Structures are given as C-alpha cells and as structure tokens.
Amino acid sequence: MNIFEVVEDSNSLFKSKKPNVFERYRDDQLSKKRGAFFVRLAIYIYTLLMAVLRYSRAESDKLKRIEKNKTIYVYETQNQKRALSVLYKEDKEKHTLSFHHFYSADSSLNEVLPLILGLISLPYYVIYFLFFDFKHRILIDKYLISFGYYLYFRFFLPVNVTNVVVANDHTERLRAFAHACKTRSIKITYVQHSPVNSAFPPLNLYDISMLDGQSSLDTYMNTGPVLGEVILSGAIRNFFLKTDVDLVCEHDRKTFGIGINTLVDVKKLTGLVGDISNKHPDHKVIIRLHPSQMKEHSMFSSIFDSELIHVSGAWEQSTMEFINTIDVLFAGSSSIHLDALAAGVLAVMVDIDTEFSDYYLFQQRGCVIAFCDFLNLDVSRYTDVCACSIDKARYYDFALGMNSTQQQVILKNCLNKIKENKSPQVL
C-alpha cells in the first residue's frame, strides 16, 4: 500500500454503508456545529497548537526511553486501556503508551510532530475533498491525522520496538499506527475492546487477534479476509470482576440501573422509570449517562428529581463500579448487557432509544430478557434467569461465566502468545 491507500484504509469505517456510520457521525458533528469543512481544519490546527503548548511545558514524547525487548501496549481511550490493563498488569516486560496525555501511561505521545507531518498532505486533501469527494469533506482532519501518524511511526518509532499490542482496529490513529508497524515488520497483537459490527475494516493487519467470541469472528469473516492467528479468548477486559463469577450477586441491594446514551428518548425513559417504580416502589433507580452526555447531566437531574432516583455519569464511575451496585440492568441495544452478565447481574432489554433495535441480537439469542418478562419475574428467580442468559451469551463472550482460576489460565496462555509474537531484533 502507498501512503494514500493507508490513509483511505485507516478511515474506511466512515466510508462503510453497512451500517451507515458516516451519516450518524455527520449528523452528530452538525448538532455540535462541527460539521463544516473549514471548522474541521480549525479543530485540527487547534489540536496542534494545544500539543505545542504541552510540549513547551516539558510534557514531551518519551518514545526514545522505551527499553529493549519491552512489549508495548498502546491505547487512546479509557476503554482501550481497560481492555489491555488486565494483560499488562501481569506482564513484567511491558511498556504502556498513550496517544493522549490525559490517560496515564509509561509514555504519553505528544502529537506535535505527527500533526505537523499531517500538514504535508493538506494541499492534496483540500483538492481531493472539495473536488472529488465533497460528501465526506468533514473527514479531512481524520485523513490528515492518519497521514501524519503513519509517517511518524514509520520513521520515528524506536528501532528496539519489536512487539506491540493494541485494543482498537478501526480508528484513524491506531489503524495508521498498525500499518506503520506492518511496514516495519513489527509484530502486532489486537485485543478486542468492544463489540464489533459489519462496518469495521477487515481483520488483516495483525499477527494475532484475541477476540471475545464466535460472534466477533463471524462478523469479521463477513467483512473481508481474516489474516493471522485468531484466539477466542473471551472478553479479557472483564476478567476477575468478581472473586468467583459463578457466585452471582444475591440481588439484595434493592437498586436498579439504567444505562443510556445519546440515542435515548427522554419520554420513553421517563415511562420506563415510572413502570419500574410502580413495580418496585422501595427500590432505588440509578440512571447512568454515557461519557458524551456530561453536558446533559443537569438536565436529566432536573427531570428525575426524586429521592429514589439518582443520575450519575460514566465520568464519575466505571462501568463495573456502576454494575456492582445494582441488582438488574436496563438498557437498549448496548454491549453493557454483556458487562452486566459478566458480573452476574440480570440484563433486561428495554425500548428507550429513538428507534428500538436489537442490533447485536442479544434478545433474539436469549442473552437478555424483555421488559415485559421482567415485570412478571419474581426476585427469587433473578439468579436462575441470569445464569441462563450467561449460558446463551457465550456466543458473544467465550469466557463468560468462567471462574477466576479458569480466567487465569486463559490470561497466561494469551501472555505467552504475545511473548512469542516478537519480530527479529533490529541491529
């Protein structure tokens, strides 16, 4: 691949038509007044200036300090870090690298040089988007980022790096990084950090891919060629959530949790809270907002102003901290259902989004129960129903329901595979 093909591939998620990711991204950016071509360029320049400011404060790139024979764990979000942390905490030869300074790591990449390198392609992509692909013009900043990241890691990643682990296969930064590693014959392992869908690029850049379950592999096989070794490891990010996940919670907290996101329909949510309160008037309800809903916290708090209703946010507590305080999880079509089941918490699918969709087929496969079934369910049967859901959800998460000893065996095998996945040392 030449560099322009690398950039195109690194942004293929937004060119996919199944599902139409770009339209949703464009509408979201328009709602935030970020949907104009020159606004995207301004955001890119702003990001570069902020990187320069951090650099001037001595928060510079530490890549040169990576020691020989270290395994490099790379992430750019908190969820990716969580997916890798179970592995690298057990790895005595690890070095963590964050693409963003606000996620703690052994090294934090300062984007000054990658973003400056991205500007090399600015004239080309201005012409490209304004005259040849006007529809996708608001992707220009992502294309510049991919160009700069590929050049940077192609030529400036220390020569003693032979083995890297990532937890994302489709964002512009990490996809370009993976291409750079491939070009330099650096071995790369991919660890799945969230459910995959048909819009994702093919699983074709990695020497080893550690997937949650058969569902993920089936999805990738439908998107294109699957190259390298595939290991159905289960959702490693959910390992060791309980002392023994066979001991599901006793459901005596008298607290229900509702997980929502930006697609929520407030009217439907209000109706759900009312139905739950009528069925269990002595139970507390926690409504947990998505990370992108921080600005809406006060609005939801005013709507649900009640002694037994609490509105929290993902920025206040992790997913598992939230789940470990509740007896039952209510959510739309979201991967948080699998997180709940991993902790032994009953998962209920509810219609609270603008359009109801069993996107991952959780309800169709019996991994969650419908709200109407919950209303007829006695508290004494929560544990049995949850155990049944866990059994059926192993299609999505191979390790679901395994105890800590079984998870430890899987983790050890995965770490051994990562250690064996090293390219010859460059002299």
pLDDT score for 249: 45
pLDDT at residue 425 tops 70: no
Distances (CA, A) of 120 to 146, 147, 148, 360, 364: 12, 8, 8, 41, 49
Check if the beta carbon of residue 231 is closer than 8 Å to that of residue 417. Answer: yes
Predicted pLDDT of residue 317: 84
* pTM score of the predicted model: 0.85
The pLDDT of residue 245: 38
pLDDT score at 102: 72
pLDDT at residue 56 in the model = 66
Model confidence at 78, in pLDDT bands (50, 70, 90)? Answer: confident
Q: What is the reported pLDDT for 19?
A: 67
Grouping H, G, I as helix, E, B as strand and the rest as coil, residue 391 is: helix
Predicted confidence band of residue 115 (pLDDT cuts 50, 70, 90): very high
DSSP string, 220-241: HHHHS---SEEEE---GGGTTS
Contact 377, 389 (CB under 8 A): no
Question: To the nearest whole percent, how much of the chain has pLDDT over 90?
Answer: 68
Concatenated DSSP letters of 256-287: EEEE--TTB-HHHHHHHHHHHHHH-TT-EEEE
Does the pLDDT at position 250 exceed 60? no
Q: What phi, psi does 90 have (nearest 5°)?
A: -100, 0
Going by the DSSP 8-state scheme, the letter that residue 306 receives in this structure is B
Phi-psi region of 401 (alpha: psi -120 to 50; beta: other; left: phi over 0): left
Question: Who contacts 266 (Cβ-Cβ below 8 Å, separation ≥6)?
Answer: 303
Backbone angles phi, psi at 390, to 5 degrees: -60, -45
Domain regions of the chain by residue span: 3-240+408-420, 255-395
Q: What is residue 227's predicted lDDT score, i.e. its pLDDT?
A: 95
Express each pLDDT in 270-324 by its tens digit.
999 999 999 999 999 999 999 889 989 999 999 999 999 999 998 888 888 899 8
188 bridge partner residues = 164
The percent of the chain in helix, strand and coil, each rounded to the nearest 5, is 50, 15, 40
User: What is the CATH T-level fold of the domain 3-240+408-420, as seen in this structure?
Assistant: Rossmann fold (3.40.50)
d(CA 133, CA 146): 17
Beta bridge partners of 232: 211
pLDDT score recorded for residue 423: 64
Q: What is the pLDDT of residues 121-158, one digit of tens each?
A: 999 999 999 999 999 999 999 999 999 999 999 999 88
Q: What is the side-by-side strand order in the sheet with 369-370?
A: 309-313, 284-289, 255-259, 328-331, 346-349, 369-370
Q: What is the pLDDT of residues 46-67, one digit of tens each?
A: 999 998 888 766 555 556 577 7
The owner of tokens 């997916």 is 83
Give the pLDDT mean for 352-357. 88
**pLDDT for the residue 88:** 95
Residues forming beta bridges with residue 312, ordered by sequence position: 288
Question: What b/e readout covers 395-417, taking b as 16+ CB neighbours within 10 angstroms?
Answer: bbbbbbbbeeeebeebbeebbeb
Tell me whether domains 3-240+408-420 and 255-395 share a fold.
Answer: yes
Whether the CB-CB separation of 346 and 369 falls below 8 Å is answered with yes
Tell me what pLDDT residue 426 has.
Answer: 42
CB 233 within 8 A of CB 399: yes
Q: Is it the case that residue 329 has pLDDT exceeding 90?
A: yes
CA dihedral 209, 215, 221, 224 (to 10 degrees): -80
Q: Position 328: which residue type?
A: V
Rounded to whole angstroms, how far apart are CA atoms 206 and 307? 51
pLDDT value, residue 58: 55
Mean pLDDT on 355-384: 91
Q: Which tokens belong to 56?
A: 């001037």
Report the distance separating Cα 215 and Cα 127, nearest Å. 41
Token digits of residue 141: 């900043």
pLDDT digit string, tens, across residues 217-235: 999 999 999 999 999 999 9
pLDDT tens, residue by residue, 3-62:
999 999 999 999 877 667 888 888 889 888 899 999 999 999 999 999 888 876 655 555
State the average pLDDT for the chain.
Answer: 89
Which single residue is written with the structure tokens 């691949």? Answer: 1
What was the pLDDT predicted at 90? 93
Residue 23 has what pLDDT? Answer: 87
Which homologous superfamily does the CATH classification assign to the domain defined by 255-395? Glycogen Phosphorylase B; (3.40.50.2000)
Q: Bridge-partner residues for 346, per DSSP?
A: 328
pLDDT at 243: 37
